[in-house]
Amino acid sequence: MFEALAQYPDHLALEGEILAWWETEGIFDRLREQNRGGPRFSFMDGPITANNPMGAHHCWGRTLKDVFQRYKALQGHELRYQNGFDCQGLWVEVGVERELGLNSKREIEEYGIAEFAERCKQRVAKYAEIITDQCRRLGMWMDWDNDYYTFSDTNIEYIWRFLRECHERDWLYLGHRAVEWCPRCGTSLSQHELINSYAELTHPSLYVRFPLKGRAGESLVVWTTTPWTLPANVAAAVNPDAEYGLTKSLEWWAVERSPDAELTRRVRGSELVGLEYEAPFEHLPAQEGVVHRVIPWDDVSLDEGTGIVHIAPGAGAEDFELSRVHDLPVLTPIDEAGRFYKDYGELEGRSTEDVEGPITVELERRGLLVEAGSIVHRYPICWRCSTPLVFRIADDWMIRADEIRQPMLDANATVEWTPDFYSKRMDDWLRNMDDWNISRRRYFGLPLPFYPCNSCGKLTVIGSLAELRERATGGLEQLQELHRPWIDEVAIRCDCGAEVRRVTEVGDAWLDAGIVPFSTLGWQSPEWKEHGYATGAAAGLTGADLPDHAYWEKWYPADWVSEMREQIRLWFYSQCFMSVTLTGKSPYRAVLTYEKLLDEHGREMHRSWGNAIDAAEALENIGADVIRFVFCEHVPSQNMKFGYGPAAEIRRRLLTYWNSVKFFVDYANVDGFRPGDEAPGELQPLDRWLFERTEQLVAEISEQYERYWTPGVMRAFDSFVDDLSNWYIRRSRRRFWNSDEVALWTLHRALLRSVQVIGPVMPFLADFLWRRLRTEDAPVSVFLEPWPEARPRDEELLREVGEVRRIVELGRQARGDAGLKLRQPLRRLVVQGAGPAQRHSDEIAEELRVKEVEFAPVEAMEVRVKPNLPLLGPKLGKELGAVRSALEAGEFEQLEGGGVRVNGHELGPDEVLVERRAREGWALAADDALTVAMTTELDDDLRREGRVYELIHRVNTMRKDAGLELTDRIRLTLPASDADLLEHADWIKEEVLATDVATDGVSEPEIAKVS
């Protein structure tokens, strides 16, 4: 007996059951054991930040990773299954700050860096555990006790080694420049952290007068949206080639920016260069000694503002560059927290936002304000804490990118991207990448191993813990792990003999993630160290080993990685940068990438907007299989709208598949059928077709998995389920009623195969069904059964039945359009364009309920042509009326290519609208190759037969509602008004399993079970 299936699948219950069963039976371990020594498939997991529970969007990537790992495993590959957690850097710090209610670096330092680091570690441990549970629930098979944590000392040491390599190549330098700065986080951000991190913000828009010295009453007018930068002004830039004019109120503007003004003088910008002016805040101590003058700058925009730009090199990137060219003083007005320094007088200690009002008032009071308003514009914000960024001069550690740029482009050329155009995106990123800003002025992150000597000027970069120990002058006894504050207590001896301390900066978190192809695989590790990766902060969280170099040789580079598109400038980039530096080649051979998850209405999901969906919530609501189905069906190059509405639709579609399995189980049990290896008799044509169709499914779906293309997988599965349910099962119903074992055998085989190939996508449902369908000698889990091999197929047969199905589909469509129910038989069907389907006229007749099928040109088609008025109106002018009437009267000739000839005019295909319709008395539908038409006229015989079909349907529904078994016989009583249907009594009896049909005084049909 096959275990019976419920009417509807309870996805949540069956997933719980399967999850527990996988666990107790150790299915995943058995799979790994089975594949040990098989061909390797190297997948490298991009670390997930252990800082929050997973959101629904994380399920997308996690699903794809699991789908392809399962597929490769089913093919016998050995895999590593190592999961990764990203553990340090600003994400975690900001999370802990919120937890503790801290809101500045000063508060963190008061709290204590050691305690803060402990809290960060606790937070990571907590969320790593939660994420692990959520991934398991999603069905993700990973080696969960063997995760890598990027804050392990081993990981950090590997980054140190990379940084020393950069230093040896002379790529490391301390950049002194204006950088985007988050005043809340108190650190600069690098280029890859800025993209897409913008908000629409309202800022002041001020036009300010700069009085010219020695030119009585004349002023330059500048425009600014950042009034806080005015106290740091040192110059005003003009476009030397542009024309400037003096207005009646003695203000200089670019002529292009003040076209309506009456000008008393006009000069080239170059003539203004060198003039000196009074800056609005030159009375501040910080401004002492600064001579303010006009400088030339070709990039001054004439699209906005006044054509004269205020320059503050300490508060703008371009301004800073100009200070080098023109030897301008650089005034840095704000500190790390974005507050004004002491020498800014009344502004001292205030934030850039706080001073906007007072500065505007002050300008007004001194008659320097020409106009004040506000502007809404896109403005960069911190991607971690959403604080608006400012520019600030900072000394940041940088890695030079120029030398590595071409080798990285070359490496990327070897990578297969899916979808393929992302390869170009990566190239674009690499071509434009700036030097890599790796320093963050923070606490819980990779400690940069830089020890600059004040005595001799040498920079020592430590490459390993062993080297640190060797060169340390003290502090080793308290070094519990390679994090602040402990690492800061260790000084080293410079080659010159001086004692040197580490810089206090920590590293960009993308260094942490980028090094994992080396740190987790044991690159250059002389020996295998058990639990050797579980060092420092990671000790006790994982049992991961540090493998030896031979292992790295085997598993590097990754065959495949998959992350969202954003990672092009993040993990794909940092990994590639580090790998090309260390080995000269790409760390991955193939990449699958995907876009963003939006809410149901297409808005970005944010916790603060209340429209984010937690993974836990989604899993509880719709279950893992449905979530996985949703993600697999979606084309990854498009943003995805995620919500519960579409999920309900997917559950409905899955029900068709469920019903097919249930159908088999029910009939097989009625007959006590046990499937053997060989068919129990000769396959009928329809069986042969399903056999071939199943082979086709295996081949198609395998091809799509090979391409890492889940939408193709889902399409192949969907169309198979449709063929299975709406063709094979429906066409074979009668054989199942008659206990036809060949049909049962064929159906069973098709179901087993389909369960198997969809297993990677819906592992729970697949194993649930497999366990019910499998024969005793088959493995207990679908994931222990080797992938079916593709064999040659009978393509002709597949094409033939495909055509039949298409004709039937068009016929149904034609009936639908004409409002004719399928239960109403019709007289005649004409099919034009059919090939091998002509051999199946009986099936077509039966499917479409027609008495005769004819394969011939369809003459029942009427072509109606209307003028495309917007185009033809202007072209034909007065003649349009005549052409229109001729078209209406059908007086036209159709031309090759879709145009028509009418009234002596030749009209192109875009100038007319062609409509194909059935003539009166016909229903019609067509596609590119086939046209199907049927007569719609009904006579008494047809009407009576239609009523019989209705009756059969109704009685069978009554049987179901009464809870009758498939084999129960009934007695059927009809109202007297149905007496004429008794002409078809035998037919009715057979269809509803009745022993007897008669009329009686009932008003509605009645059934009674025959005992």
At its nearest, how many Å lie between Zn ion and the CB of residue 336? 12
Distances (CA, A) of 963 to 369, 952, 966: 87, 17, 9
Q: Does 325 bind Zn ion (CB under 5 A)?
A: no
Nearest 5°: the CA angle 238, 239, 242 is: 120
**Sole window of 381-389, 784-792, 845-853, 987-995 interacting with Zn ion (rule: CB under 5 A):** 381-389
Give min distance, CB of 161 to Zn ion, in A. Answer: 22
Residue whose CB is less far from Zn ion, 494 or 592: 494
Q: Which amino acid is at 479?
A: L
240 Cα distance to chain centroid: 48
Task: Please identify, among the stretches 382-390, 543-551, 575-583, 588-596, the one whose residues bind Zn ion according to the rule CB under 5 A.
Answer: 382-390
Q: Which is nearer to Zn ion, 197 or 999 (CB)?
A: 197
In angstroms, give the least distance from the CB of 98 to Zn ion.
12
CA-nearest of 38, 86, 46, 39 to 588 is 46
Least distance in angstroms from the C-beta of 455 to Zn ion: 5
Residue among 249 and 387 whose Cβ is closer to Zn ion: 387
Least distance from C-beta 495 to Zn ion, angstroms?
6
Distance CA 660, CA 666 (A): 10
The smaller minimum CB distance to Zn ion, of residues 385 and 683, is found at 385
Q: Does 382 bind Zn ion (CB under 5 A)?
A: yes
Residue 496 or 913 having the CB closest to Zn ion: 496
Q: What backbone torsions phi and psi does residue 478 show, to the nearest 5 degrees?
A: -100, 5
Residue 757 sits in the site that holds Zn ion (CB under 5 A): no
Contact between 199 and Zn ion per CB under 5 A: no
Residue type at position 244 = Y
| Contact (CB, 8 A) for 134 and 616 | yes
What is the size of the binding site for Zn ion (CB under 5 A)?
14
Give me 892's structure tokens. 């036209």
Which segment (368-376, 386-394, 683-691, 830-838) binds Zn ion by CB under 5 A? 386-394
C-beta atoms surrounding 122 within 10 Å: 12
Please report how close the Cβ of residue 216 comes to Zn ion at its closest, in angstroms: 48
- Whether the bond between 449 and the residue before it is cis, its omega within 30 degrees of 0, is no
- Residue among 378 and 601 whose Cβ is closer to Zn ion: 378
326 Cα distance to chain centroid: 47
Using CB under 5 A as the binding rule, the residues of this chain from 149 to 188 that contact Zn ion are: 182, 184-185
Task: Evaluate whether 28 touches 22 at the Cβ level (below 8 Å).
Answer: yes
Distance CA 692, CA 578 (A): 49
Q: What is the DSSP letter of 6?
A: P
Q: Residue 194 or 882: which CB sits closer to Zn ion?
A: 194
Smallest gap from residue 116 Cβ to Zn ion (A) = 16
Please report where in the chains the tokens 């009576």 appear, as a residue: 944
Q: Residue 737: which residues within 8 A CB-CB, separation 6 or more?
A: 966
| Length of the chain measured in residues | 1011
Main-chain phi, psi angles of 358, to 5 degrees: -55, -40
Smallest gap, in angstroms, from Cβ of residue 48 to Zn ion? 21
Piece in contact with Zn ion (CB under 5 A), picked from 425-433, 450-458, 535-543, 635-643: 450-458
- Considering beta carbons, is residue 453 or 830 the nearer one to Zn ion? 453
* Residue 2: partners with Cβ closer than 8 Å, 6 or more residues away: 664, 665, 668, 669, 772, 773
Q: Starting from the edge strand earliest in sequence, which strands make up the sheet with 590-594, in order?
A: 416-418, 590-594, 561-564
Of the candidate residues 374, 414, 455, 621, the single one contacting Zn ion (CB under 5 A): 455
- Shortest CB 229 distance to Zn ion, Å: 20
Tokens representing 825 are 């038989």
Interface residue with Zn ion among 236, 363, 453, 872 (CB under 5 A) is 453
How many other β-carbons are positioned within 10 Å of the β-carbon of residue 634?
21
Q: Which of 191, 726 has the CB closer to Zn ion?
A: 191
We find the least distance from the C-beta atom of residue 103 to Zn ion, in angstroms, to be 11
Residue 180 CB, shortest distance to Zn ion, in Å, is 11
Per the DSSP assignment, residues forming a β-bridge with 221 are: 209
Q: Check: CB of residue 988 under 8 Å from CB of residue 951.
A: yes
Closer residue to Zn ion (CB): 247 or 387? 387
As measured in angstroms, the least distance from the Cβ of 93 to Zn ion is: 10
Nearer to Zn ion, 382 or 698 (CB): 382
Q: Which residues contact 610 (CB under 8 A, 6 or more apart)?
A: none
Minimum CB–partner distance for residue 501 and Zn ion (Å):
12
Taking the least distance from each CB to Zn ion, the nearer of 382 and 925 is: 382
456 binding Zn ion? (CB under 5 A): yes
Token duo for residue 175: 């950049």
Which residue number, 350 or 471, has a Cβ lying nearer to Zn ion? Answer: 471
Residues 554-613 contacting Zn ion, CB under 5 A: none
Q: Is 385 in the site for Zn ion (CB under 5 A)?
A: yes
Among 320, 317, 321, 297, residue whose Cα is nearest residue 309 = 297
Q: Which is nearer to Zn ion, 384 or 442 (CB)?
A: 384
Shortest reach from residue 494's CB to Zn ion, in Å: 3
CB of 182 to Zn ion, least distance (A): 3
Q: Rounded CA gap, 716 and 721, in Å?
A: 9
CB 123 within 8 A of CB 541: no
On the question of a cis peptide bond just before residue 419, with omega within 30 degrees of 0, the verdict is: yes
Could you say which residues in the range 484-543 bind Zn ion, by CB under 5 A? Answer: 494, 496, 498
Terminus-to-terminus CA distance in the chain, angstroms? 25
Give least dist CB 49 to Zn ion, A: 16
Give the range of 274-282, 457-465, 781-789, 996-1004 binding Zn ion by CB under 5 A: 457-465
CB 387 within 8 A of CB 183: yes
Nearest to 974 by CA among 983, 964, 966: 983
Q: What is the CA radius of gyration of the chain?
A: 38
Chain position carrying tokens 């249907």: 981
State in angstroms the smallest separation of the CB of 394 from Zn ion: 15
Nearer Cβ to Zn ion (119/441): 441
Residue number, 455 or 775, with CB nearest to Zn ion: 455
Q: How distant, in Å, are the alpha carbons of 539, 811, 826 from that of 536?
A: 6, 71, 80
Min separation Cβ 217 and Zn ion, Å: 46
Q: Which is nearer to Zn ion, 19 or 385 (CB)?
A: 385
The residues that bridge with 198 in the sheet, in sequence order, are 380
Per-residue three-class SS string for 17-56: HHHHHHHHHCHHHHHHHHHCCCCECCECCCCEECCCCCEH
Cα gap 386→198, rounded to integer Å? 9
Nearer to Zn ion, 30 or 501 (CB): 501
Positive or negative, the CA dihedral 304, 305, 306, 309 is negative
Q: Which residues bind Zn ion (CB under 5 A)?
A: 182, 184-185, 382, 384-385, 387, 453, 455-456, 458, 494, 496, 498
